[in-house]
Amino acid sequence: MSSIPDTIERDGGDLPPLLLKPQEERRLQAGHLWVFSNEVNVAATPLTGFTPGQHVQLRSSRDHFLGYAYVNPRTLISARLLGRDPAFPPGKSLLVHRFKVALALRERLYTSPFYRLAFGEADLLPGLVVDRYGSVLVAQIGTAGMEVMKEEILEALVQVVKPEAVLWKNDSPIRELEGIERYVETAMGKVPDLVEVPEGGVTFRVPLASGQKTGWYFDQSANRALVARYAKDARMLDVFSYAGSFGLQAARAGAAEVTCVDSSESALEAAAATAAANGLDVELVKGDAFDMLEALHADRRKFDLVVIDPPAFIKRRKDHPKGLAAYRRLNQLAMQLLDRDGLLLSCSCSYHLAPGELTDSVQRASRHLGRFAQLIAVGAQSPDHPVHPAVDETRYLRAFLFRVVDTC
Ligand code: SAH
């Protein structure tokens, strides 16, 4: 921190200060990026004096420069740090630098340009994700502070990545809490309705503007490869399948049969189109996963490999009790369908579900059903979703592969 001067020229647009209370800079100095409202010296710098998304200089209680941040007086997280170098105020050059650093990681990790290019806080770009589909980018802004920089984000992406088309997929519900509207719009070029994503030997057809989130769940790609290793000759069930990403890769890897379950018609249509284009066979079941798992059980269906990858049942901490109950029930319903010596990949993308709570859900299910579960592999979010070790919320994806046998 010694290279940061105590006071700085208020260039970078003469940004106003946001002062912290005594001791409240510690977490930030240890690497975290968030400021909560109770940490702000509101007597000196009232949060109500800022507009949502306004850029500030974050300063310690002793008025030392901590970094540049953006503020939102409406949200629980009052400010998020954008950068600690006084020479780089929020703006295009900072963004160009961030995208170059982010791109360098993905280019080391992947041989083809299909990945999450920028993952919010974990790439020091709080509130922004960008996915790359070859020459097409899909960007999603989640905060007012990033929305303010929308034009500069686009310019920086164009400069660093040189895409042919960019889509703003700014329709996440969290934007409402930030006080910014939800919309989907083309930022530049001609954005195709569908893109092709090569993964695990399958060329997936992925809807962009009409797809879920940013189109493709890149975070699960490593876990899909993990599952494919065990797919040969298996009767495989892919629950919450979206566009069939787990199931069709298992089919490609030699699964005997594949069944995909999802409540979204358009997701299953994408899965059907991919299956047809790749010469793969799949059974598609549309409906609520809980109901469909019960129906499959009633039909005495059995599987050797089951993947459950539900949407986040615990979006906010207060949803925890209900969400945990849903994970427990789901794991039990899934295990019921496993044949002798079957494999279950149990996933959760709820940050608020502790990893141990998910393994415990599987363990409880095994006891309830008089079976024995062994954890044989621990999956993680793919490395294009790096974890910021000081911001635990960036480590959100849990995936556990269990073998389930009949002896107890
Ligand atoms: N496994 C997918 C991602 C799944 S995302 C992949 O790796 O790409 C969660 C999916 O669950 C979405 O496709 C959504 O349509 C579906 N979904 C949400 N609630 C559901 C429910 N109650 N029953 C069945 N599917 C549901």
- Tens of pLDDT along the chain (408 residues) come to 434 444 444 344 489 999 999 999 999 999 999 999 999 999 999 999 999 999 999 999 999 999 999 999 999 999 999 999 999 999 999 999 999 999 999 999 999 999 999 999 999 999 999 999 999 999 999 999 999 999 999 999 999 999 999 999 999 999 999 999 999 999 999 999 999 999 999 999 999 989 889 999 999 999 999 999 999 999 999 999 999 999 999 999 999 999 999 999 999 999 999 999 999 999 999 999 999 999 999 999 999 999 999 999 999 999 999 999 999 999 999 999 999 999 999 999 999 999 999 999 999 999 999 999 999 999 999 999 999 999 999 999 999 999 999 975
Q: What is the pLDDT, as a whole number, of residue 399?
A: 98
Q: CATH for 8-83?
A: 2.30.130.10
Q: Does the annotation mark 349 as catalytic?
A: yes
Domain residue ranges of the chain, discontinuous segments joined by +: 8-83, 92-188, 194-406
Secondary structure of residue 13 in the 3-state scheme: helix
Q: What is the pLDDT, as a whole number, of residue 407?
A: 77
Nearest CA to ligand 1 atom 3: 242
Cα–Cα dist 214/138, whole Å? 6
Other CB atoms within a 10 A radius of the CB of residue 125 amount to 26
The secondary structure element, H or E, covering residue 94 is: helix 92-109
Secondary structure of residue 131 in the 3-state scheme: strand
Cβ–Cβ < 8 Å for 67, 58: yes
> Given the CA of residue 224, which atom of ligand 1 is nearest to it?
7
> Given the CA of residue 264, which atom of ligand 1 is nearest to it?
15
Nearest CA to ligand 1 atom 9: 311
CA of 158 to the centre of ligand 1 (A): 32
Secondary structure of residue 236 in the 3-state scheme: strand
> Given the CA of residue 216, which atom of ligand 1 is nearest to it?
8
Q: CATH for 194-406?
A: 3.40.50.150
Mutate which of 262, 268, 327, 384 to test ligand 1's pocket (most atoms within 8 Å of Cβ)? 262
> Given the CA of residue 311, which atom of ligand 1 is nearest to it?
9
Q: What is the pTM of this model?
A: 0.95
Q: What are phi and psi of 221, to 5 degrees?
A: -65, -40
CA of 298 to the centre of ligand 1 (A): 22
CA of 262 to the centre of ligand 1 (A): 6
Q: What is the pLDDT, as a whole number, of residue 408?
A: 58
CA of 295 to the centre of ligand 1 (A): 18
CA of 72 to the centre of ligand 1 (A): 31
Segments in 221-379 forming alpha helices (H) = 221-228, 245-252, 265-278, 289-298, 320-336, 355-368
CATH top class, domain 92-188:
alpha beta
Cα–Cα dist 102/82, whole Å? 15
- Pocket lining for ligand 1, CB < 6 angstroms: 212, 217, 220, 240-242, 245-246, 262-264, 267, 288-289, 309, 311
Cα–Cα dist 408/402, whole Å? 15
Nearest CA to ligand 1 atom 13: 242
User: Which position among 260, 347, 349, 408 bears the catalytic label?
Assistant: 349
Which residue(s) pair with 204 in the sheet? 197
Mutate which of 219, 224, 263 to test ligand 1's pocket (most atoms within 8 Å of Cβ)? 263
CA of 310 to the centre of ligand 1 (A): 5
Cα–Cα dist 280/278, whole Å? 6
Nearest CA to ligand 1 atom 12: 242
Nearest CA to ligand 1 atom 10: 240
CA of 249 to the centre of ligand 1 (A): 17
Quickly tell me which residue has 């020459």 as its tokens. 135
In the DSSP assignment, the letter for residue 212 is: S
Q: What are phi and psi of 165, to 5 degrees?
A: -150, 150
Q: Any residues with CB less than 8 A from the CB of 87 and at least 6 apart, and which? A: none
